[in-house]
A and B are shown apart, each in its own frame.
Chain A
């Protein structure tokens, strides 16, 4: 064997090396396994068009209310609710989760009716004392709307339980939109709390719903509330760094509105007074606080940086 016989062997080895180190890795840098998964693209949500307001003209329910204000004077007012709006509410399924009932108080469709009513009862003045009397006037207005149980057919304008009333044995649950309560002219605890919340929100007051196992009331945000006339310690609850005072919506005298009605006459109660309600849970328990504007948001949402393997991109 001579040197010339060795060269082809060495050349063959080199060719194998080149193929192994250059050609193959170049060809197989990415795994060849057909088309991989498709990378997703962000699809923004479709905007929802704003609700069309109900026309002022056209068929409407007209209801008259009469109540005693904080100064002892008797006030009256008339409320007009478009029939189409009322019919739409009646044909809307109810929300079973009380945590979502702030949606009723803030319903956009009811806003024009509530703003008009709230400004008539408590016209903005810029004077703090007058503002407070306006606020109390509004609260007293709602408190004196007659109380009626949800399972009482009489408490509905049509004289029958609405289609979407949720029946629980002999009982029923039907949280009303504010304008539904105004047309029906009566309602139970959550209806009053919702109506009061809607009216107060229309005047830019910060309110929450206070939910007890057997009752619902309203919380109104106030700072340093300590009225000179109060013979009680005003009850409040702190939530989200804010202080909300208890406001009863449905305390009632044990007197029926009329001989042919089971609805009871509502009775005014001052802000923060829980001792006079006669509802045991209100006196002894802490309510679940339900904000009207509710955006459930995650607590954790930040991506942590991960170190890349050395020799990478």
Chain B
């Protein structure tokens, strides 16, 4: 019986590498690594830019809607009749209630959209401040709505209390918007630096 003896026959083939081939291989590997590195860097940069752009678009949409609403609210405030009948007082409060309900829905909607944005770490502070601002506005509009409801049941003291709470929420909103501006500046200056 024959036994194959591999010890002697298994040998790696001898590769003849000339210098030119070795140089080409090294250059090719370097090119692939460079392309991969540049691609990855560009990809990360592009992704962050597009995320900031998406965040910015959402803030812009929120601001546009809020300013339209703000215009309607201001014109409603100016329309307060000087010597109204009870029916006119009631109609004014019904309109305030409708604006409050719309404001509540609008702030809730934009809050959801902006909170869902995936932003670069540098922008999380401004995103958080903006959503907090929207939360405070939402609370203010909810209290307006409650005030209108209380008014229509003749509970004027409760309506006043709700409006006082809304004024406080509105001040919190102003503070949060200042925080947002500060955080945004910090993020953008950090980027430039």
Q: A residues engaging B (CB < 8 A)?
A: 1-3, 5-6, 9-10, 13-14, 16-17, 20-21, 25, 29-31, 33, 36-45, 47-48, 50-51, 95-97, 99-100, 103, 106-108, 293-313
Q: Which of A9, A16, A20, A96 is B154 in contact with, Cβ under 8 Å?
A: A96
* A294 surroundings in chain B (CB, below 8 A): 89, 156
Could you tell me if B147 and A300 are in contact, using CB atoms closer than 8 angstroms?
no
If A99-B157, A297-B77, A311-B49 touch, whether A42 touches B24 (CB-CB below 8 Å) is no
Could you tell me if A40 and B39 are in contact, using CB atoms closer than 8 angstroms?
no
If A99-B156, A305-B63, A309-B55 touch, whether A1 touches B123 (CB-CB below 8 Å) is no
* B174 surroundings in chain A (CB, below 8 A): 300, 304
* B32 surroundings in chain A (CB, below 8 A): 9-10, 13
* B166 surroundings in chain A (CB, below 8 A): 298, 300
Q: Which of B56, B74, B87 is A48 in contact with, Cβ under 8 Å?
A: B87
If A106-B86, A300-B167, A304-B174 touch, whether A295 touches B92 (CB-CB below 8 Å) is yes
Could you tell me if A309 and B163 are in contact, using CB atoms closer than 8 angstroms?
no
Q: A74 vs B89: C-alpha distance in the bound complex, in angstroms?
A: 39
Could you tell me if A296 and B147 are in contact, using CB atoms closer than 8 angstroms?
yes
Interface size class of B (residues with CB under 8 A): 35 or more
Q: Which of A99, A108, A303 is B87 in contact with, Cβ under 8 Å?
A: A108
Interface residues of B in 116-164 (CB under 8 A from A): 116-118, 123, 126, 130, 133, 137, 140, 144, 147, 151, 154-160, 163
* B69 surroundings in chain A (CB, below 8 A): 303
Q: Which of B80, B123, B154, B160 is A95 in contact with, Cβ under 8 Å?
A: B154
Could you tell me if B35 and A13 are in contact, using CB atoms closer than 8 angstroms?
yes
Q: Beyond A29-B50, A42-B99, A293-B83, list 15 extra A-B contacts (CB 8 Å).
A: A6-B24, A16-B36, A25-B47, A41-B102, A45-B91, A45-B97, A103-B86, A299-B167, A302-B74, A303-B66, A306-B63, A308-B56, A309-B55, A311-B53, A312-B53
Interface contacts (Cβ under 8 Å), in number, total: 205
Could you tell me if A303 and B70 are in contact, using CB atoms closer than 8 angstroms?
yes
Could you tell me if B89 and A309 are in contact, using CB atoms closer than 8 angstroms?
no
Could you tell me if B39 and A37 are in contact, using CB atoms closer than 8 angstroms?
no
* B173 surroundings in chain A (CB, below 8 A): 304
Instruction: List 19 interface pairs A-B (beta carbons < 8 Å), by A numbering.
Output: A1-B21, A6-B24, A13-B39, A20-B39, A30-B54, A37-B113, A40-B108, A43-B101, A48-B94, A108-B87, A295-B84, A295-B93, A298-B144, A300-B140, A311-B49, A312-B52, A312-B53, A312-B56, A312-B57
* B130 surroundings in chain A (CB, below 8 A): 306
Could you tell me if A308 and B28 are in contact, using CB atoms closer than 8 angstroms?
no
Could you tell me if A297 and B87 are in contact, using CB atoms closer than 8 angstroms?
no
* A100 surroundings in chain B (CB, below 8 A): 154-156
Q: Which of A16, A38, A306 is B181 in contact with, Cβ under 8 Å?
A: A306
Could you tell me if B170 and A301 are in contact, using CB atoms closer than 8 angstroms?
yes
Could you tell me if B54 and A311 are in contact, using CB atoms closer than 8 angstroms?
no
* B47 surroundings in chain A (CB, below 8 A): 25
Could you tell me if B24 and A293 are in contact, using CB atoms closer than 8 angstroms?
no
* B181 surroundings in chain A (CB, below 8 A): 306-307
* B155 surroundings in chain A (CB, below 8 A): 96-97, 100
CB nearest neighbor in B for A300: B170
Shortest B32–chain A CB gap in Å is 6
* B56 surroundings in chain A (CB, below 8 A): 308-313
If A29-B50, A311-B52 touch, whether A108 touches B86 (CB-CB below 8 Å) is yes
Shortest A258–chain B CB gap in Å is 36
CB nearest neighbor in B for A26: B50
Could you tell me if A21 and B46 are in contact, using CB atoms closer than 8 angstroms?
yes
* A10 surroundings in chain B (CB, below 8 A): 28, 31-32, 35
- Residue B9 at the A interface, CB < 8 A? no
* A45 surroundings in chain B (CB, below 8 A): 91, 94-95, 97-98
